[in-house]
A and B are shown apart, each in its own frame.
Chain A
Amino acid sequence: MPALEATFLQTWSAAMTVADAHRTILAVWRIEQPRLITSLARMLRDVPLAEDLTQEALLAALERWPATGVPEKPGAWLMATAKRRALDHLRRSRMLERKHDIVAWDMEEEQQAMPDLDSALDDDIGDELLRLIFTACHPRLSHEARAALALRMICGLTTQEIARAFLLPEATIAQRIVRAKRTLSESGLAYETPSGEELSKRLSSVLEVVYLIFNEGYTAARGEDWLRPQLCNEALRIGRVLTSIVPHEPEAHGLLALMELNASRTAARTDAGGEPILMLDQNRALWDQLQIRRGMQALGRARELGGAGGIYVLQATIIACHAQARTAGDTDWSRIAGLYAELAAVVRSPIIDLNRAVAVGMAEGPEVALVIVNRLTREPALKGYHLLPSVRGDLLHKLGRYEEARAAFEAAAALAGNKREHDLLRRRAAEAADAAMSS
């Protein structure tokens, strides 16, 4: 390495702590991570192993760079290091079969030609990235395992970061990742890409996991905070990556639209104290117009591709109705109710029915909606779902049946797992109780 190479880490080192240096190195590594892991996967024909070696390259950088500074072409350094590890791995491995010899030989060839930054930018890693995403989100794995693997392999999050995001112990996540990788290796799924019809089918298992990650951050089911935007951002990022590598899949654009449009309300969804603010009470000036624009673009693209009836596209269309209403009063509730009915025809879900009830309530009045909601109370799938009594309480309150509303909000509060939501529901119960007293 030439001695005079500019090293931006060194420039700062006077004021830098070890933790700062590590954050800087992690940031640099993350820019390169997709290219590293996809290149290694292609060479080794093994995605989980490629991920291990990519992590080793990070460890090498964490060891080396605090002393030397970040090299001028960090991507080339990391790639050379990772490839060397891959080669070592193959040499160490006892099963030096013929095919391994060939792979090893290829790698030595490739290593001769050190990639410079320019060619690094030239690499089209789309196909390999697709393989990576499909491997991480394989339907053979549990939802939790898929989410952890996706955050690790696609977003380059560390185990510690994933654990923090999901409010789980680091050991739990580490174990989840190790097991998932073992499952993939043992089932011979370490390196395969679906194509044709299989791809569309498998895509839904990918989209499902991305949406799960998004929702975990968007309406945090557990914990103190109502929102964990970091998970939303990671999901959004995977969503954008997906639309660039499977640009002809309308549901990929639909999911991205749904996430962008929902995320556009982030700043308006909580007050200064972190308490949730319901959509109709939000200050719409705080809705992120740049993000709404991106969401509408993605939605438009999904429709152009003929995907108007897809489940993510329909949900995005509903959220778009809100995003485009200047005031809460401008909301086109009958259109929303109609879209929910369309959605319910595609996927049978009592949660969709509950949402439809809310829209019907706004369009046609609380009485009509209460009929739907009362029917849903017999639905076993909604037994522990706090939003059912919450919606019911709201409708009862509007109908002036305050005592029943209070009881419904109390029931909802008892079911809410999130503290902020619990508090909100308790407040509504208290309001209903006051109204009952004075009526």
Chain B
Amino acid sequence: MRFMSFVTSAHAGPPTAELIEAMNKLADREIRAGRMVDMGGLTPVAMGAQVRIADGKLSVIDGPFVETKEVIGGYAIMEFRNKEEAVASAVEFMQLHKDFMPDWEGTCEVRAFAGP
């Protein structure tokens, strides 16, 4: 089963060097283990744009945005045998945040791809 995981956080600022290093190691291990099929990081939300529909009106808003809620920093597409494996992997990934950036808070969302 193919899953996409992405981390959302209200935490401003980049991850610490230690966390980046640990995440790279983990990603490397996952590639070698054949589970990681694709991954990518996203530039800050301020550099993006939002195309919105509200009250029947379509509008394009360029960043930076007034309200900064939880934002997505990057994603990983991985292949697992079942949801339990996907969750165990996400737990391991989030544990790194806890270990290397103790004041950080956020959510790793794990979602299976639709389809067969």
What is A's interface to B at a CB cutoff of 8 Å? 6, 8, 20, 23-24, 26-28, 30-31, 34, 70, 72-73, 117-118, 121-122, 126, 230, 233, 236-241, 244-245, 266-267, 290-291, 294
In the complex, besides A73-B95, A267-B116, 7 extra interface pairs with C-beta distance below 8 angstroms are A20-B84, A26-B84, A27-B80, A30-B81, A72-B95, A117-B96, A121-B29
Q: Which residues of A contact B116 (CB under 8 A)?
A: 266-267
Q: Which residues of B contact A20 (CB under 8 A)?
A: 84
**Stretch in contact with the other chain, from B8-16, B32-40, B49-57, B58-66:** B32-40
Q: Which residues of A contact B34 (CB under 8 A)?
A: 236-241, 244
Q: Which residues of B contact A73 (CB under 8 A)?
A: 95
- A121-B22, A238-B34 in contact; A27/B88 too (CB < 8 A)? yes
A14 CA to B31 CA, complexed, in Å? 34
A129 CA to B25 CA, complexed, in Å? 18
A73 CA to B91 CA, complexed, in Å? 10
Does A241 lie within 8 Å of B33, measured CB to CB? yes
Q: CB within 8 A of B85: which of A27, A230, A245, A290?
A: A27
A294 CA to B22 CA, complexed, in Å? 25
Does A34 lie within 8 Å of B33, measured CB to CB? yes
- A233-B79, A266-B116, A267-B116 in contact; A24/B88 too (CB < 8 A)? yes
A122 CA to B32 CA, complexed, in Å? 13
Does B22 lie within 8 Å of A118, measured CB to CB? yes
Does B99 lie at the interface of the complex (its beta carbon under 8 Å from any beta carbon of A)?
Answer: yes
A369 CA to B63 CA, complexed, in Å? 62
Does A23 lie within 8 Å of B82, measured CB to CB? yes
Residue of B nearest to A260 (CB): B37
A34 CA to B26 CA, complexed, in Å? 14
Q: Which residues of B contact A126 (CB under 8 A)?
A: 32
Does B25 lie within 8 Å of A121, measured CB to CB? yes
- A8-B91, A26-B84 in contact; A237/B33 too (CB < 8 A)? yes
A20 CA to B96 CA, complexed, in Å? 25
A3 CA to B59 CA, complexed, in Å? 52
Within 8 A of A (CB), among B79-112: 79-82, 84-85, 87-89, 91-92, 95-96, 98-99
Q: Which residues of A contact B84 (CB under 8 A)?
A: 20, 23-24, 26-27
A118 CA to B87 CA, complexed, in Å? 20
How many residue pairs between the two chains, A and B, have CB atoms under 8 Å in the bound complex? 72
Q: Report the contact-size class of chain B (Cβ under 8 Å from the partner).
A: 20 to 34
A314 CA to B89 CA, complexed, in Å? 36
- A8-B91, A24-B84 in contact; A122/B31 too (CB < 8 A)? no
Closest approach, in angstroms, between the C-beta of A154 and any C-beta of chain B? 10
Closest approach, in angstroms, between the C-beta of B50 and any C-beta of chain A? 26
Which of B25, B34, B35 has the most chain A CB within a 10 Å cutoff?
B34
Does A27 lie within 8 Å of B77, measured CB to CB? no
Q: CB within 8 A of B95: which of A24, A26, A117, A294?
A: A117
A147 CA to B61 CA, complexed, in Å? 56
Q: Which residues of B contact A230 (CB under 8 A)?
A: 81
Does B41 lie at the interface of the complex (its beta carbon under 8 Å from any beta carbon of A)?
Answer: no
- A117-B99, A230-B81 in contact; A294/B37 too (CB < 8 A)? yes
| A-B pairs with beta carbons under 8 Å apart, 21 shown | A23-B84, A27-B87, A28-B88, A30-B85, A31-B89, A72-B95, A73-B95, A117-B96, A117-B99, A118-B22, A118-B99, A121-B25, A121-B26, A237-B35, A237-B79, A241-B32, A241-B33, A244-B32, A290-B37, A291-B37, A294-B37
Closest approach, in angstroms, between the C-beta of B102 and any C-beta of chain A? 13
Closest approach, in angstroms, between the C-beta of B25 and any C-beta of chain A? 4
Which of B26, B33, B88 has the most chain A CB within a 10 Å cutoff?
B88
Closest approach, in angstroms, between the C-beta of B17 and any C-beta of chain A? 13
A102 CA to B38 CA, complexed, in Å? 44
- A117-B99, A121-B25 in contact; A244/B88 too (CB < 8 A)? no
A294 CA to B35 CA, complexed, in Å? 13
Closest approach, in angstroms, between the C-beta of B116 and any C-beta of chain A? 5
Which of A34, A122, A239, A240 has the most chain B CB within a 10 Å cutoff?
A240
A425 CA to B85 CA, complexed, in Å? 39
Q: Which residues of A contact B81 (CB under 8 A)?
A: 27, 30, 230, 233
- A24-B84, A30-B85, A31-B89 in contact; A122/B33 too (CB < 8 A)? no
Q: CB within 8 A of A290: which of B35, B77, B87, B95?
A: B77
Q: Which residues of A contact B92 (CB under 8 A)?
A: 31, 117
Which of B95, B98, B116 has the most chain A CB within a 10 Å cutoff?
B116
